[in-house]
A and B are shown apart, each in its own frame.
Chain A
Amino acid sequence: MLGFVVKRLGAMVVMLVGLSIVVFLLFSVLPADPARLTCGKSCTPDVVAANKVRLGLDKPLTEQYTTYVKGIFAGRTYNEGQGVAEIQCPAPCLGYSFAKQAPVTDLITEAVPVTMWLALGSFVLWMAIGVSGGVVAALNRGRWLDVALQSFALIVYSLPTFFVGLIALIVVIVQFGLLPYPDYYPPTQDFPKFFDTMLLPWLTIATASAAFYVRLTRTQMVETLGEDYIRTARAKGLTERAVTVKHALRAGLTPIVTAAGLDLGLLLGGAIIVEAIFNLPGVGRLAVGSVLDSDLPVITGVTLVAAAFIIISNFVVDLLYMVIDPRVRLS
């Protein structure tokens, strides 16, 4: 069991390194010159060239990469020995945004809590709606409740998220004024405002994702409910509730957990569309903003962090397998 954990942990680290190399290479094809962004309107070719040297952009790609990785673990100093004011970027340093005059790590750590609240809130909602909806549909297979749940899930599933979000925004906030215009406050500062702002984004992501989980859970449940051991469990005289939850749902849980882990990881890396619609200052909005500004250090940093979330949640899913499926523990 420990061997399994160590092996997966090793795979995760290899994946992170591979990913950082690919991201680094990918963005080195961008012509947006980070050196240009250091001086803004006062740029002259000489200044840009000098800044290029200061930022280490004249060095070969391999050296730039090792400097970058070193910065993550040990921090790095910009403008060192250049006769200009030095800029400290303490570890973990993901780069320095000259456009925003701030270390990338700070920008991301400011944005992550917003995205985290968004992701966790909607995750709880969609898992509750999706799994219970799927179980109810499977237990009522072929009856009107099943048909109704499935049709609803299919229709919602068919609509793009941006569309659902925009309609929700327009109808609930603009038309009927049921909620105030979205304006993010941290929950510790002003909980009612936080809740009012997050309610629609939560619901938007939750409905869109729940539709998929209703379908997935239903398929899994229908399959496991047809197994012989379910009949055995019933024959033993177990309550219907125990049969459904302990035997059928648990056996069908693996694909649901796989999908849920991936979706949550993906969401933590920035809900680009929903954050844009509801004006939430999360990772997704930071990413889109820096794409528009060609703020390369921020784009690279956000991409890395977003991918790291996915890799980490994959790892957590692997660990959860051991809890759900005893066969994984034994192998």
Chain B
Amino acid sequence: MQVAADHALEVADSAPALQGLSPGKLAWRRLRRNKTAMISLGVALFIILISAFAPVVCALLGVSPDGNSDLIADAGRPVSGPTLDHPFGIEPGTGKDILALLLYGARVSLLIALTSVVLTVTIGVLIGTIAAASRGFVDRALTWLMDLTLTFPSLLLLLALSNVMIDRLTALGVPEGNFSRITYLILFFAIFGWPYIARIVRGQVISLREREFVEAATAMGASRRRIILTELVPNLWAPVIVYSSISLPGYIAAEATLSFLGVGTDASLPTWGKLLSDSINYWQTYPSYLLFPSIGLVITVLSFNLFGDAVRDALDPRAGRV
């Protein structure tokens, strides 16, 4: 160690351009060189941005998510297919612009997915760290809780409890309608999603807690809270980033599935899931209604998945050598 440090000093003296790089910086450098990662990150950020500012983007493009009977001919058929004014076409039956619906829908879908990821990861990291750091009975009890949570048929429970729980949320003061429906979904995703990340974090912390820097902190008299919060948790960002970027598309797909099953938001609020399940009925008479939402979903999910894969590769110290 000492020899290497001396050598590094010598090298640094003769060639000041050389710098030591932390593993984080090395990973970031690897990530930046990866074209797929950068493109997928760009696409993902672009989608987040345009959906966050959906009203502005729609105004700029001159499209509107509101129904327009002028655009509907007889029997609910739109007056035209995709045109310059309506690049993705018009929703049959209502005359809403499909591009606008897609943007507004993305906003809701991404909001649900992002909030679920943040909640899941927060709970998972906390419980996983506490389990690993406390050992003994607490660890066993928490691990058991994780296993128990994972054995629940969550989709079934989600369906069975939806009406009751949404009513209860409203009774607790959560605004009625879509707000409480969305809150229910997010809470449900968080309650049944945290064990996955908690398991990963627990494994990570178990391997970290025996390391010298934790021992050093203990020797200096750091409290357990301090060791957990300032020594252990900051070392967990790698699995957290990978898990988040991979689970986000999972939640988008889950929201879509639940909309299909009728548990999602009500008709007034478009989401991707609703667009997909509504549009299937028109696949023959108005294919662009089905085509564009599905392409949008695939591109979004794909970009998050690809980025997550790339982050995992970049963080793997062996990745460069194999």
Are A303 and B157 also in contact (CB < 8 A) when A19-B151, A31-B164, A162-B257 are? yes
Is the CB of A276 closer than 8 A to any CB of chain B?
A: yes
Q: Say which residue of A162, A222, A302 sits within 8 Å of B277 (CB atoms).
A: A162
- Residues on B with C-beta less than 8 A from A175 are 284
Interface residues of B in 49-79 (CB under 8 A from A): none
Q: Say which residue of B155, B164, B257, B276 sits within 8 Å of A29 (CB atoms).
A: B164
A276 in contact with B261 (CB, 8 Å): yes
B148 in contact with A22 (CB, 8 Å): yes
Q: Say which residue of B254, B302, B318 sits within 8 Å of A158 (CB atoms).
A: B302
Additional A-B contacts beyond A19-B151, A159-B297, A159-B301 (18; CB < 8 A) = A15-B144, A15-B147, A22-B148, A26-B157, A154-B302, A155-B298, A159-B253, A160-B254, A160-B297, A162-B277, A163-B294, A269-B156, A273-B261, A288-B261, A291-B160, A310-B151, A311-B151, A314-B147
A170 in contact with B280 (CB, 8 Å): yes
B160 in contact with A166 (CB, 8 Å): no
> What 1/0 mask marks residues of chain B from 128 to 169 whose CB sits below 8 Å from any chain A CB?
000000000000000010011011110111011100100010
- Residues on B with C-beta less than 8 A from A170 are 280, 283
Chain A: minimal CB distance from B316 (Å)? 9
B276 in contact with A226 (CB, 8 Å): no
> What 1/0 mask marks residues of chain A from 297 to 331 whose CB sits below 8 Å from any chain B CB?
00100110011001100100000000000000000
- Residues on A with C-beta less than 8 A from B159 are 272, 287-288, 291
- Residues on A with C-beta less than 8 A from B318 are 226
Is the CB of B192 closer than 8 A to any CB of chain A?
A: no
Chain B: minimal CB distance from A315 (Å)? 11
Is the CB of B322 closer than 8 A to any CB of chain A?
A: yes
Are A303 and B160 also in contact (CB < 8 A) when A163-B294, A266-B153 are? yes
Chain B residues within CB distance 8 Å of chain A: 144, 147-148, 150-153, 155-157, 159-161, 164, 168, 249, 253-254, 256-257, 260-261, 273, 276-277, 280, 283-284, 294, 297-298, 301-302, 305-306, 318, 322
Are A154 and B306 also in contact (CB < 8 A) when A30-B164, A163-B256, A291-B160 are? yes
Q: Give the 10 A-B CB pairs with smallest separation, nearest first.
A: A158-B301, A306-B153, A160-B253, A310-B151, A162-B260, A226-B322, A160-B256, A269-B153, A291-B159, A291-B160
- Residues on B with C-beta less than 8 A from A31 are 164
B156 in contact with A306 (CB, 8 Å): yes
Are A18 and B153 also in contact (CB < 8 A) when A166-B280, A170-B280 are? no
Are A272 and B302 also in contact (CB < 8 A) when A19-B151, A310-B151 are? no
Are A299 and B153 also in contact (CB < 8 A) when A18-B148, A166-B280 are? no
- Residues on A with C-beta less than 8 A from B144 are 15, 18
In the complex, A311→B297 CA distance in Å?
34
In the complex, A108→B45 CA distance in Å?
47
Q: Say which residue of A26, A273, A287 sits within 8 Å of B161 (CB atoms).
A: A26
B156 in contact with A287 (CB, 8 Å): yes
- Residues on A with C-beta less than 8 A from B160 are 27, 30, 287, 291, 299, 303
B161 in contact with A270 (CB, 8 Å): no
- Residues on B with C-beta less than 8 A from A163 are 256, 260, 276, 294
Residue of A nearest to B321 (CB): A226
- DSSP class of B's interface residues: helix, strand, loop or mixed? helix
In the complex, A276→B159 CA distance in Å?
13
How many residue pairs, one in A and one in B, have C-beta atoms under 8 Å apart?
A: 108
In the complex, A154→B304 CA distance in Å?
11
A-B contact pairs, 25 of them (CB 8 A): A15-B147, A19-B152, A29-B164, A30-B160, A31-B164, A155-B298, A155-B302, A158-B298, A159-B294, A159-B298, A159-B301, A160-B260, A160-B297, A161-B257, A162-B256, A162-B261, A163-B276, A163-B294, A226-B318, A266-B153, A272-B159, A273-B260, A306-B153, A307-B151, A307-B152
In the complex, A175→B152 CA distance in Å?
38
Is the CB of A117 closer than 8 A to any CB of chain B?
A: no
> What 1/0 mask marks residues of chain A from 15 to 37 whose CB sits below 8 Å from any chain B CB?
10011001000110111100000
Chain A: minimal CB distance from B30 (Å)? 16
A157 in contact with B151 (CB, 8 Å): no
In the complex, A314→B151 CA distance in Å?
9
Residue of B nearest to A288 (CB): B159
Q: Say which residue of B150, B155, B161, B249 sits within 8 Å of A272 (CB atoms).
A: B155
In the complex, A166→B148 CA distance in Å?
33
- Residues on B with C-beta less than 8 A from A166 are 277, 280
Interface residues of A in 151-201 (CB under 8 A from B): 154-155, 157-163, 166-167, 170, 175
Residue of A nearest to B153 (CB): A306
Residue of B nearest to A226 (CB): B322
Chain B: minimal CB distance from A24 (Å)? 13
- Residues on A with C-beta less than 8 A from B305 are 154, 157-158
Interface residues of A in 22-67 (CB under 8 A from B): 22, 26-27, 29-32
Are A303 and B298 also in contact (CB < 8 A) when A18-B148, A19-B151, A273-B261 are? no
B280 in contact with A303 (CB, 8 Å): no
Residue of A nearest to B253 (CB): A160
- Residues on A with C-beta less than 8 A from B164 are 29-32
In the complex, A326→B261 CA distance in Å?
45
A270 in contact with B153 (CB, 8 Å): yes
Chain B: minimal CB distance from A306 (Å)? 4
Are A303 and B156 also in contact (CB < 8 A) when A160-B256, A163-B256, A226-B318 are? yes
Are A158 and B297 also in contact (CB < 8 A) when A29-B164, A303-B157 are? yes
